[in-house]
Every structure is written in C-alpha cells, then in structure tokens.
Structure 1
Amino acid sequence: MDFKLFPYQRRTINTMFMTMCLLASVLHRCQCADLIYYVEEGKSPSTLVGDIAADSHLMDTVPIHERQLITFSQLTGSSQLFRVSQTEGKLFTTQILDAESLCIYNTECFMMVDVAVQQQESFMKVLEVKVVIQDVNDHQPEFPDKRVSIQFEENDALGTKISIPNAKDKDISVFNSLITYQLEKNSNEPFALSVSKSVDGTSDLSITLKERLDREVEDSYLIQVIAKDGGSPPKQSILDIQISVIDVNDNPPIFSQKVYNISLYSEHNTITPVAILSASDLDSGRNGKFSYQFSSKTSATARDLFQLNKESGEIFRREKLNLEQEMAYKLYVKATDQGSPPLSSRAMVLVNVINQQNNAPTIDVNFVSAFTENTATISEDIKVGSFIAFVKVTDHDVGQNGEVSCELHHDKFQLQNLGTKKYKVIVKNAVDRESSDHYDITINCADKGFPPLHCENKITIKVMDVNDVKPQFSKEVFKFQINENQKSKISVGTINATDPDSGAGGKLTYSLLTSMKQFLPFQIRDGGLVSTIMSLDHEFQDIYRFKVFVKDNGIPSLNNTVNVIVEIKDENDNAPYFTFPSVNPFTLDVVYYPHHTKNITQIKASDSDSRENAFLKYEIARGNDKQLFAINHYTGLLSFNRILNQQDAGSYDLEFVVKDSGNPVLSARTSIFITLSVSNKTSEMLNIVRIQSDDKINLNLAVVIVLVAVSLSVIITASMSVGILRCNDQRSSAHRDGTNSSDRYVREQRHLMCPSYPTTSCSEITTMMTEQEKARNLSLSRRDSAPGHDFSNQQKSSVCKLKPQNSIDMAHQV
C-alpha cells in the first residue's frame, strides 16, 4: 500500500527537521575532525570504512621511496569499534555496529578515532577521524498494544476527537523513524484519523467524529490505523481500534507554552525550583485533573540531574551539577489527565547551564606503545624527537578558568604544543637502559583562574634493551698457574667477563682462539671456566699463550677477546743424568807434575726439570779416602786437593753422585777409574779445561776468543818469519818435538771435549781461558822453532796426553 505525504505533513516535517538541526547546533559542541567517514549499521566486522592514507594526503608530502616508512597507529582511548591497518592506513570496523544501542534518537551518531601518523619513529601528525554511523531501517513502527478500545458519546458533536496511542520506531534517524498514519475503514463509517506533531517529534493520534452517532443503529465499530515509517523499503504495523459509542473525555491538558527556555547557574541550589510548568484542562472532574512526568525522550543523564514534582510541575536540581561535555539539557515533560482514556500533551524545557565554577583541568594521555594504563615502552635506540604519547587536556570552565597550560620538566623527554589543549610527548635526549631502565615523568597542567587550579598525571616510560654494549673483561691479561702431571679436566681458572645488556644481549658464550698450527690442551665453558683436557708436561711446554673469544647472544652479536697466559709449574719428576763421563765406569790415566797440576777434568750432568729442580750439586761419594781429590759442588770441576808425592801414585776408583734441589731430591751416580802417575819434572804444566755451554756461548768467552785470535795472528806472522831463518838448523829436532806435541793434543781432546755447565761462574771460565791461552802460545812457540811446521798443527798441542786406554799425561810441554 503506497503512502503519500499531504502538503501540511511535508511542511510539518521540514519545520521539525530545521528546528532539530538548529537545536543540535546549539546544544552540542562542534566536533572538529580532520576526516569524516560514513558507515551503515549492521555491517559485518572488518568492513572498510575509509582510506585514511589516501584521504589525508599525507603521502603527497613524502617522497615515493619513503612512503613505505609511514605507519598509522590508533591511539589508546579511541573507539574500539574500529581498527587501523598500520602500513596501509585503512580504517575497518571490528564488530557489527548497532546505531540504536550506540546513539540516541534524532542525534548524529558518530565515533571519534585518533590516529597517529609516523615516519619510522618521527612524529608527523595525529588525525582525528569522525565516523558517522548511518541508521538502517531495521525496526518497524510498533504500537504499545495491538488493540485499543475508545468510546464516543452518541451526542458528541461533529469533529469530536478521541486520542489513540501512537506508534514508536526504535530507529534513530529522522526518516527511518518518521511515521505516517492511515485509517483503514469502511466507506460508511463516520470516523477520520487526525495526526498532529508534538515538540519532541512524535505524533499525537486521535479518531475524529465526522458524522453524528446513533447508538441504536450502531453501538460499536472496528477500524484500523496503519503506521508506516519513512525507510526504504518502508515497514509498517497495524493498530486495531474498537470504538464504543458512549460519553468520553475529549480534552487533553494544554501547556501554557510548548518550549520553556531556562538559564541556570552551575551553583544553583537544590531548594529553589529551576522552572515551574503550567498546564490546563478544559474538562471537569477527573477528566480535568492531570499530573506531570518526564517522557521517554528525556535522557537518563537529565533524569539524574533534575527531578519533577508530579503535582505542581516544579523542576528542581537533584545535586551539584557535574559538568562534562554538555552545557545544555533537554527535558521533555508530559501532562496526562485522569480521564478514560487519559489525554496528554507535551512540552520541552531547555536548561542552559552557565558555568561560574573554576574546576581543575583533567589530563588524558594516550601512548603510541602502551604497556599498562600509565606505562609506555620505548626502545633503547629510539631516536631523539620520536613521538611517544598524545596528551589531551579538558577544562569546561568559562573564560580564563578554562584556559590551560601544561609543562613537563625532564632531561630525557619534552612536551610540545599541538594546539588548544593538545600536546605530544617526544624524546628530548637519548636514553640508555644500562643507566636507567625506566623513567617516571609528571605532566603538570594549570588553568588561569584565580586562584589557578592544578592537576598532574604521572606516567612511566619503560626502556626496552638493545644490544649496544660489548662484553668487557675484568683484566687486560689473565695469568694462571697449574702444576704439571695432573689429571685431565682440572680447573685452570675463570675468565671473568660482564655485559650490562639484558636478556640475550647479556648472555655470554666463550670459546678459545687457536691457529691452524697450535694445539691447546684446554677447554672453556659458558661460565668462563678454563680446564685441561689432558695431563700437562712442563718439559714438553712450560707456557701456553692464547686468546679467549667471548660474544653475547644479542642481535647483532657483539664480542671481545682477551689474552691468556697459562704457566705449567715444574715438578721434580726427572732425575739428573751424567753427560760426562758418558760411560760407567770410565777409565782415566793422569800424570801429575808437582807445583803445576791442579785441575783434572770436569764432571757434567743435566736435568730435564727447571729452576730449583734442575739446580745440581756434585759430590765424591766413594774412593777418596786419602782426601786426594776435590770436586766443585756446582761446576763439577775435579781437581787435586793438595800437592802430591810419589807415594800418592796408584789407582783410584772414584764414585761420583749428582743431586738436584727438588723435593724429593733425585740423584744419579757414575764411576771413574783413575790411574795416577806422579812425575819428578818441575817444568811448567798447562792444563786446559774447556767448558762450553749447552745452549749458548758466553759473551765474555766470545770476547776472549776474539782477543786470543788477534794475538795468535800477530804471533804466527812473527813466528813464521823467525822460522824461515832457523829452519835449516833445527828442522829435525823441531819436527820431532812438534810431532809429539800434536799427537798428544789430539789424544787430549778426545777426553776434554765436554758440554759446558750453565752454572759455571765467570771467574772460573776466565781462569780456564787464561790457562788455555798459555797452552796455545806455548804450542805456537814450539812450532815456530821447527822449520816447515804446518800452522794447523797448533790445534794439536795439549796439556793432557791421551793414551789408547784413556790416560792423561800431565807433563809440561817445554
């Protein structure tokens, strides 16, 4: 069934719509927004609402290659009915929207969404997006009852009206809730439908009598009223009306005015009425008595703030006004008489609150990255100037009482003004988690009233760790000592390293650095404990030098190295051994020349240990009953202890012992069988004891050898000149003497060539070199006296005479 609006209905609708728009502009604050989108209610979740990135045109200000760095973040405190994609900047719904549950009738249904736009960590802008939720015609008009009964008196005049209940539509938009009515009746029934609009937008319905009634002809009628909304497609409902012909109450109460406009100071008391409503009813008796009550269109907030006296029509303030967003309130009052059926009319009371209070401002902080309600998280490597939080300040006071300024005093963070009562918190200076893992900051705001009122909001900024500190060692070089010959897996020492980073960035892993040619008998654990993997031998290697590498498990991983020295301490695990004599027993023939013979030979031994464990002492253990021989305890030099005579000649079986200085003391023994001959000759005797070092040539010895070589070269040159002049006279004798001397020297070298002992003193070496030099000079003199003598024969002269049975002739070569 099609419905058409009559001209008077169109005029009424237009007038009502303009009135409501005007009231909305007066009663509601302007919701300024950067972007406005529209979405119908009832849409499924994840419905696209709008493209913020494209519509805000922020991308146009950024180079194309940097647009992918722009992110969009919905700030906490925004409506949770929507979500913003971080990279694309598109706005979607999160659930099915129901305009009727979110908004009230005849108001623009919208939600505000705050979106922070950043380029990497740099703040660009906070966009305030307004999303208008469009009402859908999802509710049909509904009458309170499906059937009502009314009564007409049979003597009622033409035009008599009886009120019937109107229909209500739960939709909140004007057109979806706009109801038109039509009477469905038989053509001969004397009734018409009368529709009039009230100030709250609802319709007052009544059945009008068009013709006189005759109860004797017809005492009851059944007609229908169809209510249809203005949606597309429209929805409708039907009210059955049972009409009885009797006398009825046909005059509703009438207010003195349709709209009451009242101004109210915020300090108005609760005793004095805010307003007094006045209504009258032309009926008499019960039909003329009426009462006042708030209609269903009055908001719950207004009901909480104001109370209405049902009998007198006085309106009082309930309690002190809690001024928030609204500074004006609408009260819809209905006057209903006691007739049957009751008649009613409505009036609207506009209460405008004049604020004379000076209330403290309130602070609302929305974080980009929230941890808890008053805690935000930032990364340790966050850049200076990065956006952290969006701050809104609210103060509804009038004049200077509502002017607010805010401050933030902190060395790491700064508050920047974004406009009227809007701020952002940014990073002022770089943060370091190792110095402080959180910061407590306070935002202070004050209005300009007298006296000024303050408020503060304390928030915490938690710093998340970044792996920016490499491990540090407690020492530049770690030195350890360990005894040799211990079992494997013995602890050597601990490498101490620390890393102040947290989490994986502070967890350390240790390893040993070795080259391809180096073998290390050690291992290291994660705690830095160095231990052996085998038994160590000081004699094999006494010192190990290597590096320890430590790294953390952060991303990226940081590392460090340190030098380590491990000294293997010697134990007395090697007994000394003789290097001369090399056989046991050893046979030696010695010829003693009185007053010129002292040194015999040098006993030598070695020890693989080091330090005190290799410090040797020599002793004659057996065979020296006559105290004929003496030995230097430290050099092993064997010599005569006194002047000998013919009675001392004979054989001597000497046993020698060498001991180290370790604990316990280790020793070795050897024997020398000496056949001693005592000569009566008193010629000068040269005794050469050659002492050489096992490892190196003593510097003093080298200097002496050079000086001797230079002296010998001069002597040889002079001797050759003299020898040429005397060669004819002395060739035979000199040749014979030279031959004997050379043979003797060769035999002596076979027994006297022994390794040097490291503990031989410098004075002893100098004494022996002096005797050696004398022997060589004497040999050169004898060679010079023999014509034609070869220069190489000077190497063959010696003090000791070697015999095939290892004997030494101590005769002095003249």
Structure 2
Amino acid sequence: MFRNCYVVHCVTAMGRVGQRLPILIQIIVLLCLCDATAAQLSFSVSEEADKGTVVGNLAKDLQINVNELVKRDLRIVSGNSKTYFDVDLKTGALNVCDRIDREELCPNTAKCSLSIEAILNNPMRLHRIEVQITDINDNAPSFREQEKTLNISESSFTGERYLLPMANDADTGSNSVKSYKLSPNEYFSLDVQSVGQHSESAELVLQKSLDREKKSVIRLVLTALDGGKPARSGTLKIVVYVMDINDNSPVFSQPLYQAQVTENAQFQTSIVTVSATDLDEGINSEIVYSFIERGNFNPETVFSINPNTGEITVIGKVDYEENTAYDIRIQARDKGTPSRSVHGKLLVEVTDVNDNTPEITVTSLMSPVKEDAEIDTVVALVTVTDKDGASNGLTNAKLLGVVPFKLKVNYKNYYSLTVDGSLDRESITQYNVTIIATDEGSPPLSSTSVIPVHISDVNDNAPLFSEPVVNVYVKENSAVGATIFIITAVDPDMEENAKVTYSLIGDFSKNIPITSVVNINSETGDIVSLQSFNYEELNTFQFKVQATDSGVPPLSSNVTVNVLILDENDNNPTILAPYSEHGSINSESIPYSAESGYFVAKIRAVDADSGYNALLSYHLSEPKGNNLFRIGTSTGEIRTKRRMSDNDLKTHPLVVLVSDNGEPSLSATVSIDVVVVESTAEIQTQFRHVPVKEDSFSDLNLYLLIAIVSVSIIFLLSLISLIAFRCHRTDGSFSRYSAPMITTHPDGSWSYSKATQQYDVCFSSDTFKSDVVVFPAPFPPADAELISINGGDTFTRTQTLPNKEKVRMVAL
C-alpha cells in the first residue's frame, strides 16, 4: 500500500501570521486558503481487501490534530450509491468498510479508481480523495463455449491454420490471459500470437496430413493460462472431424471374372455378379457398375449390368460365329466428386447367330451450325459399328437425299459429318440428315439414323435483285428528270442487315460519268434521267446499280441496267444518190419497144430512225389517167406496166413518194422525168450504165426445164423400184433383227440391256453396215447421243445430234 499527499498548509500559516501581516499579506493568505479547498489526496488498495483494512491516515495527510477530528466532524462522502470507505475519528485512519470487486466496479478497463470527499467543519474544508483499486488474480480464464468442433477435410495441406476461440479473463494486466497450450497430438500444433498489448490469440496449425480411413475423429484440449501467481487456467475441448474425400478407388473382389452362356440363353438370364468395395464412406463409397465399350463391340447390346448390384444378365442374342468369347471390361465407379473408378475384366464364353445390323452413334453434335460455315466444317462425329464378323461386320455409311453435307471417313467406322455446300438459313432452317449404314453381308443389313442439324443465321445475304440484267426502255426526247425505272432489291436478312441503299457504279463512257446521265435515289431506288435522249445519237447504254445492306460487314450485289432508247419517228426518209444530188435533174430514158415489166429506175432511200419508223414504202404519184408505170412498194424499182402505144406521151413526169411506217408517218418525194426514145442506143442514164432489163421467159428456157424434170422423175422411179425389189419378203431380204434394248429414264439417263426385242429391218446387199434406230417409247431426252454398235455388243460413241429431240442411233 502506498499513498501520495498533496497538502497546502494555508490554514496554519494564516493562523500564525494573521494579526501581524499587512493588508496585502492577508490577501495572499486568503488566496492560499482558497487553494487548500482544491487539494487532492491519492491512496491505493487491493480489491477484495478485508473490512477494516487501513487505506491511509487522513489526520496525518491533512495535518490535522487527531483531537480536532471529532470537533471538526470529519466525514467521508462517496459519489457511489454504495459506501466502500469510512474514517476512524480516533486515529484519523481511512478504512475499508465493504467488499470491493474491481471487475464489478470497472469492467473491461485497465485502471480502476474510486473518488470520495473528506469534509471538515469549523471552518468548512473539502478535500478530494482518489482511491486506486489494484487488481488481484481472482478470476481464471474461461471460454465462451465448452467445446469447439472443426470439420477439416483429409485433403487439407500441412501448414493450414484454423483460428481458435479466445479465452476471456476479467482480470487485467499480468493477471489476464498470457498463454495457451495444446494437448499433445501428432497432427496439430499451436501458434499463439499477440493480438494487442494485453491479449493473445491461438491458431491450430496442421502439421501432418490427415487420413480419415486411419483416424476419423481427433480430440484436443486447449488450455488458457493467465499471468497471475499462482497462474489460473481455463480449458476448451476441441473435436476435429476428419471429412472424407474420395481418395480411394473401388476394388473388385476378383481380378478376373469368368462365366459361360449359351447362344440360346433367354433374356434376363443371370450370368455372374461382380462386386467391388470402397474404403471411403457415404456417397464416396457408393458404387455404380457399368460396361466399358471397347472397339466395335458394345457389351450393352448383348448384356446388361445392374448399376447397383453388379449382376450381369443377357439382354441380346449371343452369336458364336461372331465371337466365341466376349472379353468385357467392367467399370466400378463411386459417386464421389470427383469420382474414382476401377476396371475389371469379365470373360464370357459363348457358343453361336449372325443377325446384327450396323449401329450408328452420333457424338459431338454441333448444333446449330452457322449458315456461313466453311466447307469441311465438322458438324458431328458419327460412329458405325457392327457386331457381326468378317464381311458381315464391314460397313459403309452414306447420306440419303440431297443435302449440303457429306460423310468423311476419319478412321475405319468413324466418320465426320461435314459441310459440303453452302447453307442458307433463310431458305432452310433445319436439315434432317439421314445416314444409312449398310454391312457387306449376304443379304446385306442396314440401319438409318436421322440427325437434325439446325442452321443459325448470320448476315450472309446480300441484297437480291429479281434478275441480273434489267432492260429499261426509254423513249427518246423524254423529259429531263423523269423517273425511267424503279430498281428494287430484297434482302432476306432482318433489321439493319436488310436495310438496303442504292448507288450507281460504272462509267457511261471513258469521258462522261454515268452520274451525269442518270441519278438514283439511294433509299427508294428511283432512277431519274438527267438529260433528254436522242436515239440517233445514242440508242443504248449500260450501267450498274449496287445495292448494299447495313450489316457489318455490309454486303452488296449489283444489277446491270441496259437502257434502251426507243426510237420516235422524228426523222424523214432521205433519198440516196443519184436522185438526191443537189441541183441535178432526175430523168430516165426507155425505148419505145420496152415490154411490160421493163426496168426503168430504182429509188433508194434511208431513214435515220429504226424499226417500223425506218420501214420505208415507195409510191408513185402520177398524172391522172397515166397507168404506164408501177413501182415496187418495198424495192423502189420503177417498171413499165405495159407496152408503149402511140397514144402515150413521150415524156412522163413521175413523183415518187417515200413514206416510213411511223406514227405519224413522215415522207419525202423525188421527181423523175421518164423520156421515151425510139432506139436503145439513145438510152443514157445519170449513172452512165445500162439498167438491167428483165427479158421474157424464152422458149429455150422452157425446153430446158422440161428436160430436167423428166430426168429427175425417171431417176426417182428407178430408185423406188430398186428398194422395193431388195426389201421384198419373198426374197429373204427382210430379216428379223434382235436389237439390244436401250431404255431411257425420266431423269435423262439411259441404260443398255442384253435382253433383246425382235424388229423387222431392211439390209442392203452392197453395204457392210446398215443403220437402224431402235427406241422403246418414249424417245430419249434432248441430251442423248448417237451410239454405234458395230456388230456384237461393241458400242462406239458418235457425235451428238444437233436437233432438239436427240436420239440414240444403233448402227448394225
């Protein structure tokens, strides 16, 4: 026990000098007296001190005579509801009058003190007293729970830490918890670390790998010790449950199981029961039995194994010719995560049936398939197996129907279903690919499997025009700015991928861009002319329109636009030379002796227009009553209609009207004076040549024609007689020929068969080879070819027939 006393003896000093000091000194003493009332005494006492324990002597510390304590009525006043101290007025000692529990007064604090006041009367004095309550080790460490349970997996690594609960001690300082210790064991150690200035924490550290199969529960005791003397302690029971992991594989009871079965064993006949055990527990020890497929043999097609009991029974036909014994691998797999398995061997001896069809197994189906998948993209893996032996076990697989896929052989009976053509989701969203697998047995057996392949959409469709080339017909002289055509493209994609814009590409000529001739509305596709067209200067031109969608990346397509200018009848016929020469006088001369049909002149004219607008016709505009001449409406040739007479004029002015066939019709005229002369020597033309004269049909020509016709008739009659003589049946010239059958099919193909049919044919005696066409109805298709048969069955390919209905010619 100790004490500190802070006493100012102001009262005593004032009593001795009060009457002798000047006024100023008295004021100082009064101030000193005021300070004395704030003086504080400090004592200390241990908690749990016995009643009557002396804490300190107030009379001595306050320097008051013991005899004055009663007179001045010394009292102790406490601020607490409970009084822990009182004063002995006889001795002035401050005593403990009640039990002091520091943990009750000052819980969870490092320092604890009680403040009391000592009051003196006559004169009134107030002294503050602070009593420090010192801690003793009267509390043992304790844990909030009696037992701590830890679930630790047996797969935990050494060095892993597990935090343990902290012990609580109501004491402070050196009497609080200072250390922990762990009961001896081979698996764990204790690591104690300082958490704060006055507390410790403990962690459980794994020192050795756990094995549930050796020890599933580990019991430990954690002891907390305080720093008191003697030390006090508290304990915590720790129960460590080692959690099982799937670290043990199942084990079969036998390394090899053997059984016998006849090929005629009924279904569900039990063969053998396999058994396996697992040292793990719970779900890790639950075992599932199954067969393991090896090579082309799948045990599940013949045998069945109970996944829970391991009983193996017959579920299919056993074929001795296929296998004299079945070497089966059995798998025992536990249900742990991850699961562990073991393989066992079962040898089943069998006796004899060959009735197994190929089996098609589809694995790794990639569905849906993007419609832009490249050629040879693998869609699915296909396995074809056949349990038969020799040729009966050899299989071939192929696809049925026309689909953009193909089967590619990877290895033996393993196939890849790959893309073999372009895919278009907009056309077909799903293909049902049918695979047929056929063995090479006799008779062959086959099986089919349908694989649904879904096609997913990508932006693979460019805008489509209804046709690759568009012909646009525009009348010449049409108005500028008129819409000559509306181009439209359709994109089967959706949303932005189907939003189409139009643009012009290509040049009208090397010097003039197409954009100066026509323009296109990028959104509607309206093509507008930017100039008026003249057919005689430009009758056709070509450009391309590109339609682009808004996809990423954008796709586009082009259409060729042929603009054909339609001719308007805006040009008059033009007379050609010599009758069009400027300043010339058009005149022709004919002899007086000219016969009917005598050639006078030929008018030639052209029209810059085309078609019907350029189709010209010629007409004569003669004086009234003159019917001497006529003109060919299409040739423009002027000829006489009859012989001359004495009443005819010597000069005949003719006006030739040349008209086109347009609407309305345009025309041109030319005037010709025809002069009648007495002799042909006087005939001269403007071109200085003698016009062609059409002579009448002479008697010599008639005789020559009669002779030619007679000779031809005689030759034809002779030829007919010769053929009839050669082909007469009585002479044996007609023979029945057995022709091989050539059969045509609806798809355009044909086949040759040695099965013959009898036909009557005619052979010539002077030829080595005669030709005959032998056809069963209907005739071969248009793409048939000529086939020669040179005796026997030898075929020789000849040229393809040029006509539409081509046939196959059999030459004998």
| TM-score bracket, shorter-length normalisation | 0.3 to 0.5
TM-score (norm 1): 0.35
Bigger radius of gyration, 1 or 2? 2
Structure with the higher helix share, 1 or 2: 1
Give the TM-score, by structure 2 length. 0.35
Bigger RCO (CA 8 Å, 6+ sep): 1
